[in-house]
Amino acid sequence: MSSHPNQRCMVTGVGGYLPKTIIHNDQLSSEFHLNTDDAWIRTRTGITQRHRASENETTSDMGIAAARSALHDAHMDGADLDLIIVATSTPDQAFPSTATIVLDGLGSKHAVAFDMNAACSGFLFALIMAESYLMQSNKNHALVIGSESMTRLLNWQDRSTAILFGDGAGAVILSRTASSDRGIIGHCLFSDGKNGKALHDLYVTTPSADHPMGVIVMDGQAVFREAVSQLISSTHTLLAEKSIDLADVDWIIPHQANKRILDRMCTDMNIDHRKMLYTGDMHANTSAASIPLTWWKARQNNTIKPGQLILLQAFGAGFTWGSCLVRS
Ligand code: UT7
């Protein structure tokens, strides 16, 4: 970025939040009367359970909880923030933005706040927008949240989608740093609206009285193929642009949709499976929240050491997709 050529933006705190209620695979058939079973879901998706927000729990409530956990990790409080972006496809309402509700909840009097929707790629897109803002201004600290109430978008009669999604929030603190070798070192983001609804169905229907937010419709196989192909291609593009070898990447934090997508990428790109971080078994696809939730778990387990190279990979409806390299 032009304004601060010797600086980068570093992730200084990571946090997350998952609602208390857990729905195990077996409950989908026993309580939700879906014609499915635990073995099918585990084998085809890797998922064993998902969390569901309580009736009164909102996307902003979950976002605030994740933000507090990230602020604690960074030894900061809400008043230190200059920017808050909430990546979400399931905002509390059209406006005010979920981000301004989070801002109020955190007492972040000086921050600029807004929402961003890039579906499941939302967190990655928001992270790069936050980096751009910090690098082009004299501001220092951004809070980037992915928070989603995906279960509110589910048709509980559709076994091909109802098994896949869950609720939750993840957050990171991004801070401008004088270090030129740690932090975000490159990214590539893409969007293509041509096939979003026509060829590869993954969209939310128009709201109706039964479903005030609409419901998810998806051609799972088409989305699966497109996700594998675009995640691989954006990774190669970014690594080539930065002259970095895939073997030098220590950890990959991909969007947590279907474990088989990640297994396919490992096979096709000859990646050691142990580098591919996966927590989707425990919380299913939480859309924009999934990358920071996995990052949060890695932080709790002290998996990622200072100086290691992380590759973030996202893919979502639109379609939107991209990759980002971060030196821890
Ligand atoms: O952020 C991006 C979000 N979207 C995704 O990541 C979706 C990517 N796609 C997928 O994850 C997978 O395509 C699914 C998990 C959605 C489906 O898995 P699949 O291996 O592609 O299964 P399929 O659609 O080919 O269906 C195979 C069979 C069908 O039965 P028949 O026609 O062979 O008799 C389905 O009706 O499995 C049936 N089926 C199920 N059976 C039990 C579909 N869903 C279920 C289910 N339980 N939940």
Q: What is the pLDDT of residue 3?
A: 63
Which is the closest atom of ligand 1 to the Cα of 285? Answer: 1
Rounded distance, CA 164 to CA 144, Å?
24
In the residue annotation, 285 being an active-site residue is answered as yes
Asked whether residue 82 carries a pLDDT value surpassing 90, the answer given is: yes
pLDDT band, residue 67 (cuts 50/70/90): very high
Q: What is the pLDDT of residue 210?
A: 82
Question: Amino acid identity, residue 203?
Answer: Y
pLDDT digits (tens, 9 = 90+) for 284-296: 999 999 999 999 9
pLDDT digits (tens, 9 = 90+) for 88-147: 999 999 999 999 999 999 999 999 999 999 999 999 999 999 999 999 998 999 999 999
pLDDT digits (tens, 9 = 90+) for 235-257: 999 999 999 999 999 999 999 99
- Angstrom distances, CA of residue 313 to CA of 205, 216, 226: 26, 22, 14
pLDDT band, residue 2 (cuts 50/70/90): very low
Rounded distance, CA 52 to CA 101, Å?
21
Catalytic residue from among 51, 255, 283, 324: 255
pLDDT digits (tens, 9 = 90+) for 297-316: 999 999 999 999 999 999 99
Q: Which of 195, 105, 205, 108 is nearest to 147 (CA)?
A: 105
pLDDT digits (tens, 9 = 90+) for 155-212: 999 999 999 999 999 999 999 998 778 999 999 999 999 866 644 567 888 888 888 8
pLDDT digits (tens, 9 = 90+) for 3-15: 676 789 999 999 9
Q: What is the pLDDT of residue 239?
A: 98
- For residue 229, the CA-to-ligand 1 centroid distance in Å is 18
Residues with CB under 6 A from ligand 1: 36, 40-41, 44-45, 120, 159-160, 163, 218, 220-221, 223-224, 227, 257-258, 285, 316
E-strand spans in the chain? 8-17, 21-24, 49-52, 83-87, 112-116, 141-149, 167-177, 183-191, 202-204, 216-218, 251-254, 309-316, 320-327
- What the block records as the tokens of 184 is 């975000």
- For residue 219, the CA-to-ligand 1 centroid distance in Å is 9
Helix (H, G, I), strand (E, B) or coil at 175: strand
